[in-house]
């Protein structure tokens, strides 16, 4: 599981912020504040053009005063009435057909998904969850974007707004009603896909006694061995093994096939090239980067301190997983990874184990098991004349249960990049079904967001346009990274218009454009566009960050902190969108 952003605890995220982000509360207030201000200024200017400054001021004041009264005095009864209407509308539009589509997708999946894979759980989980995401989001977009515009088109809205319903209640009712439909659909899909995944991947083998092998099932077989408890069991293949039944004819259900690993994270600090403490490593140019780098062939090191390392938790040793990023200043043998070293050290006594080497490759997770007995550093052996081995818990873990993992880069002038989440201990497993549900909760948050945006856009746009706008928001959100890199000029080829010109004139993205007035104009228009794009991406949610599919598929437990962050962030967006929808609906002339 490669993590690309800080994993913050919920309160850090909310109130403190990370390396390249503000605290969520502050971010929210800033965004909301500037949007409200912008809306007020635009509204005031528009009114001033038509009625002059005095009336405009009066109108603006009236809208704000009304809004404060109407936004916060909502009637649950009326919201529920509007939500019920939305639900009835969806049901009469036969949304349940989506479930049939989903079942067909599952049937297809069972039929064509590649069985050659070595990670069947990953394949099936990511497939069904992605399918569920797309289906649900598509449905959410269609339901939400067309509902209010239909009300306007059929003028049913006349009979609604002449009742004592506040605009906010209309917006909120829609969001709630469609989300309720989405929730039910997702719950059913979740259940169906869980059963599907478990049934598709669960398998047993029969024992082919004479060869000490098992039969072939989902493209693999195991050898039969004696397990640690003395009973016969199969070898571990494709990440799982089977116990063998008493008659030694068949295997039991697979073990460790459905995983929800809970990594045990440590705290990261750095050592500079001379061995001095440093807060961060070296930046290799990308100031947005979340990793920092250590130089090879020096004393520079990335040091993770793990706490709570006890013999109860890790009876046999430390299962360490490493995901080190490499930055090459010369190419070397590109086929091979860059050599690094790892050792354990007692933070109190300074006693350490001898180094083990590993090859670091980008996007590759290196799992290694450091057993209880580790070779002692040769230098120390001579000094103390002690035994050749050190014991993990007697020597390397201090009395507070802390141990340090040191990573260094061996070749000169190569660099290792590391962030806190890049090295962890593999401790316990969470329940897979529970993790699966958290994965679906991620889809649910996305569905909620899309619904909210759809309803908001549909308060002032016609159905198809609202559909397009919501899809646009979704896409911009999906490609938030890309838009940010275009906007910050990090990407070659310039802004939208410049790249269009390059496209038409078939110019390479890196070649310089001729310096003349036209280029200057194009580039300054692009500069403005890029500011707009960047503010847009800042305001729109990054939909990918709400998706937890990768965690479930890779067999990692989704951190509860992350789930909470996503939920709160989604609710904040829904709130913002609700206020926006209220205003758009309130200032709109209904009967136009």
Least separation, in Å, of the C-beta of 167 and other proteins? 8
Number of residues this chain uses to bind other proteins (CB under 8 A): 29
**Which residues, 152 to 181, sit near other proteins by CB under 8 A?**
154-166
For 77, 490, 496, 520, the CA distances from 501, given in Å and listed in that order, are: 56, 19, 9, 13
* HEC per residue, 153-204: HCCHHHHHHCCCCCHHHHHHHHHHHHHHHHHHHHHHHHHHHHHHHHHHHCCC
Which secondary structure element, helix H or strand E, spans residue 404, and what is its range? strand 403-409
Closer Cβ to other proteins, 173 or 576, answer by number: 173
DSSP assignment of 493-509 equals T-SHHHHHHHHHHT--S
Q: Are 84 and 181 in contact (CB under 8 A)?
A: no
Closer Cβ to other proteins, 34 or 66, answer by number: 66
**Which residues, 376 to 405, sit near other proteins by CB under 8 A?**
none
Give CA 282 to chain center in angstroms.
Answer: 26
β strands within 224-372, DSSP E: 224-226, 232-234, 261-265, 267-271, 277-278, 292-295, 301-306, 317-322, 325-328, 338-345, 356-360, 366-371
| CA distance linking residue 546 with residue 567, whole number of Å | 9
Only one of the segments 258-266, 380-388, 434-442, 583-591 lies at the binding site for other proteins (rule: CB under 8 A); that segment is 583-591
Site map 334..373 versus other proteins, x via CB under 8 A = ----------------------------------------
| CA distance linking residue 418 with residue 325, whole number of Å | 6
**Which residues, 87 to 146, sit near other proteins by CB under 8 A?**
88-89, 92
Ranges of H-type helices in 52-96: 53-72, 76-92
Closer Cβ to other proteins, 15 or 42, answer by number: 42
Closer Cβ to other proteins, 50 or 336, answer by number: 50
Closer Cβ to other proteins, 517 or 591, answer by number: 591
Closer Cβ to other proteins, 75 or 367, answer by number: 75
**Which residues, 485 to 514, sit near other proteins by CB under 8 A?**
none
Torsion of CA 387, 391, 396, 399, to 10 degrees: -120
Least separation, in Å, of the C-beta of 591 and other proteins? 4
Closer Cβ to other proteins, 176 or 186, answer by number: 176
Only one of the segments 82-90, 475-483, 514-522, 576-584 lies at the binding site for other proteins (rule: CB under 8 A); that segment is 82-90
Only one of the segments 79-87, 125-133, 227-235, 393-401 lies at the binding site for other proteins (rule: CB under 8 A); that segment is 79-87
Nearest to 479 by CA among 559, 536, 562: 536
Site map 211..240 versus other proteins, x via CB under 8 A = ------------------------------
Closer Cβ to other proteins, 76 or 489, answer by number: 76
Residues near other proteins (CB under 8 A):
66, 70, 75, 77-78, 80-81, 84-85, 88-89, 92, 154-166, 589-592
């Amino acid at each position: 599981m490669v993590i690309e952003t800080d994993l913050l605890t919920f309160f850090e995220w909310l109130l403190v912020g990370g390396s390249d982000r503000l605290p969520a509360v502050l971010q929210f207030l800033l965004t909301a504040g500037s949007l409200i201000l912008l809306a007020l200024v635009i509204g005031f200017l528009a009114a001033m053009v038509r009625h002059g400054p005095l009336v405009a001021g009066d109108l603006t004041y009236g809208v704000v005063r009304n809004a404060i009264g109407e936004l916060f005095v909502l009637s649950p009864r009326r919201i529920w009435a509007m939500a019920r209407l939305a639900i009835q509308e969806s049901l009469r539009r036969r949304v349940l057909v989506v479930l049939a589509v989903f079942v067909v997708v599952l049937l297809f999946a069972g039929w064509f998904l590649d069985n050659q894979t070595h990670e069947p759980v990953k394949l099936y989980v990511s497939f069904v969850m992605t399918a569920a995401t797309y289906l649900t989001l598509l449905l959410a977009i269609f339901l939400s974007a067309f509902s209010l515009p239909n009300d306007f088109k059929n003028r049913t809205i006349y009979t609604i707004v002449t009742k004592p319903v506040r605009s906010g209640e209309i917006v909120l009712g829609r969001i709630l009603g469609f989300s309720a439909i989405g929730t039910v659909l997702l719950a059913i899909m979740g259940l169906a896909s869980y059963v599907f995944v478990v049934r598709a991947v669960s398998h047993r083998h029969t024992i082919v006694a004479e060869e000490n092998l098992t039969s072939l099932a989902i493209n693999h077989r195991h050898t039969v061995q004696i397990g640690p408890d003395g009973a016969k069991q199969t070898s571990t293949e494709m990440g799982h093994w089977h116990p063998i039944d008493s008659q030694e004819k068949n295997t039991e259900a697979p073990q460790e096939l459905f995983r929800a690993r809970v990594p045990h994270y440590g705290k990261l600090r750095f050592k500079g090239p001379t061995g001095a403490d440093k807060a961060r490593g070296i930046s290799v140019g990308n100031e947005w980067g979340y990793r920092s780098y250590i130089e090879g062939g020096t004393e520079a090191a990335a040091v993770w301190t793990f706490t709570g390392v006890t013999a109860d938790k890790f009876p046999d040793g430390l299962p360490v997983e490493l995901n080190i990023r490499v930055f090459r200043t010369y190419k070397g043998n590109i086929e091979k990874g860059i050599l690094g070293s790892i050792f354990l050290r007692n933070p109190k006594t300074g006693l350490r184990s001898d180094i083990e080497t590993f090859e670091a490759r980008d996007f590759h997770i290196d799992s290694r098991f450091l057993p209880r007995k580790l070779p002692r550093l040769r230098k120390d052996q001579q000094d103390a004349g002690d035994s050749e081995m050190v014991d993990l818990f007697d020597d390397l873990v201090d009395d507070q249960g802390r141990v340090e993992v040191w990573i260094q880069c061996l070749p000169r002038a190569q660099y290792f990049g590391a962030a806190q989440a890049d090295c962890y201990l593999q401790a316990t497993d969470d329940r897979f079904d529970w993790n699966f549900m958290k994965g679906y909760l991620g889809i649910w948050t996305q569905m909620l967001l899309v619904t909210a945006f759809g309803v908001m856009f549909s308060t002032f746009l016609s159905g198809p346009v609202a559909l397009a706008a919501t899809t646009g928001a979704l896409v911009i959100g999906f490609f938030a990274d890309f838009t940010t890199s275009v906007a910050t000029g990090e990407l070659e080829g310039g802004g939208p218009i410049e790249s269009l010109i390059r496209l038409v004139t078939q110019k390479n993205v890196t070649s310089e454009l001729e310096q003349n007035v036209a280029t200057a104009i194009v580039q300054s228009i692009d500069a403005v566009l890029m500011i707009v794009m960047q503010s847009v991406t800042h305001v729109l949610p990054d939909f990918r960050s709400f998706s937890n599919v990768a965690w479930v598929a890779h067999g990692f437990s989704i951190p509860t902190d992350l789930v909470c962050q996503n939920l709160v962030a989604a609710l904040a967006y829904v709130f913002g969108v609700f206020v926006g929808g209220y205003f758009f609906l309130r200032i709109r002339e209904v009967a136009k």
